[in-house]
Structures are given as structure tokens and as C-alpha cells.
Structure 1
Amino acid sequence: MRSSSRSSSSVETFPAHTPAASQIFTTVLSQGPLTRLEVARRAGLSPAAVTKAVRPLIEAGYLVEDTDAEARPALGRPANLVRVDGGRALFAGVKVTGDEVIGVLTDLCCRLLLARHVPLTGRDPKAVLAAVAELVHELLTEADGFGVRVMGLGVSVSGDVDRGEGVVRYSPFLEWRDVPLAELAATTTGLPVTVDNDVRALTVAEQWFGAGVGLADFAVVTVGAGIGCGLVVHGRVVSGAHGVAGEIGHVTVDPSGPPCHCGNRGCVEAIAGDAAIVRRVREVTGADVADAGAALALAHQGDAGAREVYARAGEAIGRGIATVANLLGPERVIISGEGLAAYDLFAEQIRDAFTAAAFGSAAQCDVQTRPLPFEEWARGAAATAIQSFITDPT
């Protein structure tokens, strides 16, 4: 039985020392079980390359080869299925919000094993790191019971995050600028740490383990406190040259609309973000709604003014999604986020505005909704840790 690791120095590295080996493992991880021939086809590699890469991964216990009677061809040798042993390694994921830290423990296949919440006593880096350390300590203690190492920690934060450097450049909700979070968290927890923008982390989870599996081009749009967008183009999550690709929340959809905190007017977020909706519901109804939950309740009670605010928000979101479809032509757009609690109030407006603004065949884009709890955002952070472990064995 392996004991969980408490220090990065003793964490083993992944035995895939080439990009091809990482690609093969990722293909099996996200789309398996598969025969070796099917792995070669989907990864665009030769069967010989697959055989060479699979051998050390099987020897190290990350891949398992099963004989499946149903997969046997009519003639010749049986086609063995290769799959990932999800229990071979554990990963921790942490999502930082404005008032709490949510943590999860997952296996190598990013299956949720447990979740924990810790409230924040403050939003400064010191307070957040203390909460993260407390949470990760709980997760590592729980991991001891599984008898498997925790190989890495992923942390997701809203805002402008430089994943390569592990630095939070700017997070408006936390009021952070240039915080070297990966380095600080690694020192605090003793684990290898990956830090990424929360929407991009969620997009990684959807790409490898969710509604984006097998798609080369898709987008994840999140609605709630902010309006976010993660983009996958030609099979890669796009960060952009400055780490802010996909800022659909700051696409202008109404030049004469309300001012946005970014300095422009009529951005999607200035119309459809939680704060904008609450502010507008107060103006329209005169009701003293305290937060997004109260605004939603008023609309669900049938208040015409509140319902109109949500209808306008849906139109803004639909136009924003159409902009993404027109620019990138994704096969699918996945709408998620806590704001989906209001989906029944603006679903029709999202669809109508999208159809009206999407150009030509871009309107054929498959628009799906996936309500996800905050634990799924933390799972997205764990997915980035899994991704780093597999693709950057150093």
C-alpha cells in the first residue's frame, strides 16, 4: 500500500517522457477504453509508436490492458482494450471564490472522491493561503485512507491568470495583482501546484472528462457573478498572448447600454452579470433585493419588471455566444455557471438572440446547458493538475 505524499520532493513523475506518450495516454484517459489500433487512429500515430509508449505506462501501473470478449474480431487475435487505472494516483483541486475555498479530491480519471468547503476570513493572499493550506491538509489526511499518492494540486481563481508563471496577474473579486500563487501554495502545501483561470480550468475538465470529449473546437460559457468563456481551438485550450482570450463578458452588445467596470458600456457582463441584474431589478421594480438569489426569487414570483431584466440578460448572452460562434465556428458551446438557476427565465432569449446574430452555418453550432455545482469548478482545478502531471513530467 502506498502512503500519500506530503512533500513535492517525494512525488513520483509520470513515466511518459515524450509528447507522443503524453498524447497517447491523454487519448486513452479521455476516450478509453480503446484498442491499441483505435488509440493509434485517434492520436494520429503509428501502431508501433503506440506499442512503444504503452509498455512503460502498463509497467508503471497507469494503464491496464484488458481482454474483452466482445471486442474480439471475427478472425485473428483478440483485440485487447487499454484503459487508465484511475486509482493509480490522486489529485487535489481548489476553487477560490470571494467568500470561501472549495476543495476536492479526485482520482486520475478526475472522478470526484470527496469535497470540502472552508470559509475565507479575508481576501488578501495570506488569508486565502491559510484557508487553502487548511483545506489541502484535510484532503491529504483523507487521501491516506486511499493508500495512494496525491500527485498534484490545482488551484483556480477568477481573473487574469498566467498559468505558465503560476501568477495571478489580476483578480477583481479578490482584488489581487501579481500574486505568485503557485509558488506560495507549493511552499504551503508541499505539492506541485498548477494555477489557472477558473473558467479555463473548467474548460480543461470538459475537454478531457465532460461534454467536450472528442471535440477539436468548442467553447464553455459561464454565467453568474461574471460572464466567462473558455475556448478550445484545434484541440487546445486557448489562453491568448496575454492570457485573456475568450473575454466574452466584455464584448459590447449594446453601445448605449449600462457602464461596465472595465470602462466600456453595454458589455455582456454589464447586462447579464449577477451584480448588473440585481442593480437593474432594483431600478425597475423599486424592490430592495439584496442579492442575485432575491432578484431571481422576485422574477420567479412573476414580477414583470424583474422578468424583463432577465429576458434582456438572455439576449445579451445569446449575442455574446453568437460572437464566439462567428469568430471561431465551434462545434459546440456549453453554457454553465451558477447563473443557470435563472435559465428558465432567459433560455428562449438566448436561443433567439444567438440564432439572429449567428452568421450562416455558425447558427448550426450545438448550444448545450450543463448546470454544475461549485464542486465542479474545483474539479476543473484538479483537471489542470492532472494535465500538468501528464504533459509536463518534470
Structure 2
Amino acid sequence: MNQHGGDASLLRRLNSAAVLRVLRNRTAAATLTELAQQVQVSRPTVETIMDELLEQGWAEECGQERGQRGRPAKRYRFRASAGRVLGLSVGAYRLQAVGVDLSGQVTQSRKAAIFPDMTADERLDAIERFVADCSEELGQRPMAVGVGTTGVVDGTGRVVKSSVLPGWSGLPLQEELSGRISAPVVVENDVRLAVLAEQWRGAAVERMDVLYLFAGNRMSLGMLIGGKPYRGAHSASGEIAEHATGLWQVFGPAMDFATAVEPGELRSPAQAAEFAFDKAAAGDPRAAEAVTALAVGLAESLVTVVGPFDPEMVIIGGSLSSGGALLVDPIQEHLNRTCLYPPEVVASGLGSDSVAIGAARLALEHTESDIALAHKPDIATV
């Protein structure tokens, strides 16, 4: 008898999950009959499930329409405001958060300055305070917090290695933050989250095989293979090692141009590139030459990856995305000449928000199992 009871309970939960999944994925409200047809269960079963989902706050009634026989048919939709998740980007100089509701709509954006020479504990304290501030602004605790950070991040959320943030190597970041934040925490490499964001809200929507080049104060790759961010055997996919000739040799033309124009101004490679972009956009022919040389250097490096990977799209992200067509067009032209199947090359439109948006998507994915089981949402105010 206990076995039968367990089977019935499991079936109810599975049916509830199916109904809620249909509601989440629909763009329009649904009647009980429509839900029963899509889930392939009886109408009375759906009616009972909907009563529970309404009581628990996961669904809401949104008006009626006349049925074929003149009887009003109630319509229902997923209640996206039932909860929020938070996506967080942890960089050397800045914390950035994006809050989204359960339909993925952005409801909050917030930034805070931090410092590269912080100890690990100081950075963890800053993250804890930042999440608390975001929660207070939201008016409710997030159902989950996704975190994107630089470095090699394994499947448990541990930072295996980081050359950017002091004390970050070997840090069980997901575990540490879970002890400080009153919500489930999931941690992933920032560039893998950036390519996830592009697939969800950016240039790569409905794309399955994508190469994302992050180029700013560091350079790394994100790869979407078969619709999923690729981690690699050691969770180090996309990490670009130091080249014998120097990682930033490709930025040489932009740095030479910036130094020639303003000899007394010290700029990082990324800052020099942005300076050249601005001057080229204003019509400076020397700047345009420097930008084209930078683009060709990037394209020559990309060919070694594009050939064996065979992506359908290459996205230029990070600070170099501000170059737009000035950078993208020469890269596209080079790949068209050298690749058997040249991918489409685009500049990211998400800018500095990409990692936080990807982290929010990761947090949403984490909540899906809880939502599917129709747990009552936590709407307690902070």
C-alpha cells in the first residue's frame, strides 16, 4: 500500500511539473482544456493541479473568454513575479548584479567598485554585502544566486586556478558563498556564462555552435557546443595560455598608435584599442589602419580555432566589442578568405552585462527543479 501511495504522490508531482512547465513556456495564457491537451491528462486532474499552483503562488488567473457553448473559460498564466534570481559578476575592479524574475525579465541592475589587491576574505565580505544590498533593493530574498568569476572553475564551483584575483586559486567559492548567502549559490567561469548569455539574450539566440572571444584586460574563449557551454576535461576550456611572444602582441598596432598620438599617456592594451576605435570612428586614417591591423591579428589567431571547431558564429566580446564594424568587418573578411566554412562574425551587444546576465540564467536553471515541484515561493521581505 505504501508503494502505491508513493507512486500516486510521484505521479501528482510529475503532472504538476508538466503543467507548470507548459505555463512557463507559453507566451499566451491557457485554459484548463488547453493545458489538459498539452500535458495529456484529464481536465479534472489539471483543475486540481491549478488550484494548488494558484494557492502556492506559482500561477495566476488572468480573465475569462467565452467558450464554444457560451460558458466562460478561465485562463491562467505563470506568475513570473513569484520569485527573483540574482546573477553576479565578480571582477578585479567591479561587482555587477542583474536581478531577473522567473520569466527572465531584468528587474534590477547594480554595480559596486572593488579593488584588485583585496584578499580573498575581503572580496568574499564585499560580495556578501553586495548581495544583501541587492536583496534589500529587490524587497525579497533571491531564490538562487548565480556567480561568474575569472579563473578555472570546476563542476563543484571551486576556483581551481586564478591568475587575476589574489587568494582565489583553490578557493571553494560556491561553498564559501553558500555559507554567507541565504539562498542557493551556483558558481561558474565568467566567459562560459558570457556565451550562455549570448545564447539566451544576445547575438547567439537559437545558435548551437558558437565561439565567444573575450578580449579586454585578459583574453579567453567561450565555446557553445551543441547548445551547451563547453567545460573541457579539466574545466579549463577557453583559458588562453601566455604565448612565447607575449599574449598582447596582437594589440601592438593599437598600442603603437596610442603611444604615437599621446606619448605621455600610459594605457593598457584594451585601453589602447578603445582609444584607436574612437579615433578611427572620428575619421583618423592612422587609427583606422591600426584597428584593421589589430583585427587581422585577431583573425589570424581565430583561424586556428575556427577551422577545427567549425562554429556557426564568432562573437567578439569584452571591451573589444565596442569596436563594432570597424573590428568585425576585417575579421569577417579574413575568415571568409581562409576558412572552408566561414562563420558569421558579430560584436556582442550585451557589453559588460554579459557575465551577470549569464549568471542570472544559470541561477534560473538551478531553480527550475524547485519550480517544477511547485514548492511555495519564498516571498519574505528582507
1:342 is displaced (CA, Å) by 2.5
Superposed displacement of residue 149, structure 1:
4.4
Q: Which SS does the other structure have where 2:360 is aligned?
A: helix
Report the equivalent of 1:174. Answer: 165
Tell me if the contact between 1:90 and 1:106 (Cα under 8 Å) persists in the aligned partners.
yes
Map 1:189-204; keep pairs closer than 5 Å. Answer: 189-204=181-196
Cα distance change on mapping 1:285 and 1:392 into 2, 3 Å: farther
Mapped contact 2:98–2:356 kept (Cα < 8 A):
yes
8 Å CA contact retained: 2:59, 2:77: yes
2:146 matches 1:154: yes
More displaced, 381-390 or 327-336?
327-336
Give the drift of 1:367.
2.6
Cα separation, partners in 2 of 1:284 and 1:188, compared to 1, 3 Å: same
Q: 1:214 aligns with which of 190, 206, 227?
A: 206
> 1:255 maps to what in 2?
none
| Residues 327, 294 of structure 1: alpha-carbon distance in 2 compared, 3 angstrom cutoff | closer
Q: Find the counterpart in structure 1 of residue 265 from structure 2.
A: 289
Equivalent residues of 2:273, 2:320 under 8 A apart: no
Q: Secondary structure at the match of 1:151?
A: coil
* Counterparts in 2 of 1:35 and 1:336: CA distance versus 1, 3 Å: farther
- Give the structure 2 partner of residue 238 of structure 1: 230
1:156 counterpart letter in structure 2: G
The CA RMSD measured in Å over matched residues stands at 4.4
Residues 299-345 of structure 1 show CA distances to partners (whole Å, capped at 9, x for unaligned) of 64366665444323211332344444433333333333222223344
Shift of 1:266: 6.6
Report which structure shows greater RCO (CA 8 Å, sep ≥6): 2
Partner of residue 293 from structure 2, selected from 308, 312, 337: 312
- Corresponding residue of 1:271: 250
1:347 and 2:328 aligned: yes
Report the counterpart of residue 389 of structure 1 in structure 2: 367
1:207-234 superposed Cα distances (whole Å, 9 cap, x missing partner): 3344333333333333322333322222
Superposed displacement of residue 298, structure 1: 5.0
Normalised by the length of structure 2, the TM-score is: 0.73
Q: Report the counterpart of residue 346 of structure 2 in structure 1.
A: 368
Structure 2 unaligned segments of length 5 or more: list them.
1-11, 66-73, 374-382
CA distance 1:270–1:119, change in 2 (3 Å):
same
Aligned partners of 1:318 and 1:353 also within 8 Å: yes
1:124 is aligned to: 119
Q: Could you tell me which residue of structure 2 aligns to residue 258 of structure 1?
A: none
Match of residue 242, structure 2, among 249, 262, 280: 262
Aligned residues: 348
Aligned 8 A contact 2:331 2:345 in 1? no
Residues 90/283 of structure 1: CA separation in 2 closer, same or farther (3 Å cut): same
Structure 2 residue 207 is the aligned partner of structure 1 residue 227: no
Q: Does the 8 A contact of 1:154 with 1:384 survive in 2?
A: yes
Identity in percent = 23
Query: Which one is further off, 297-306 or 339-348?
Result: 297-306
Give the letter aligned to residue 314 of structure 1.
A
Measure how far apart 1:99 and its partner are.
1.2
Q: TM-score, normalised by structure 1?
A: 0.71
**TM superposition shift of 1:95:** 0.9
Q: Report SS of the residue matched to 2:95.
A: strand
- 2:200 match: secondary structure: helix
- Structure 1 contact 94–102 (Cα < 8 Å) conserved: yes
Residue identity in the other structure for 2:184: P
| Structure 1, unpaired ranges of 5+ | 1-15, 41-45, 70-79, 251-260
From the superposition, tell whether residues 172 and 288 of structure 1 become closer, same or farther in structure 2 (CA, over 3 Å): farther
What code does the residue aligned with 2:118 have?
R
Aligned to 1:338: 319
Report SS of the residue matched to 1:351.
Answer: helix
Q: CA deviation at 1:352?
A: 1.6
User: Aligned partners of 1:202 and 1:65: how far apart in 2?
Assistant: 36
Does 2:68 correspond to 1:89?
Answer: no
Give 1:380's aligned amino acid.
Answer: G
- Which has the larger Rg? 2
Tell me the distance in 1 between the aligned counterparts of 2:317 and 2:28: 28
Structure-2 separation of matches of 1:81 and 1:323: 54
SS at match of 1:156: strand
Report SS of the residue matched to 1:388.
helix
Cα contact 1:218–1:233 (8 A) shared by 2: yes
State yes or no: 1:136 paired with 2:114. no
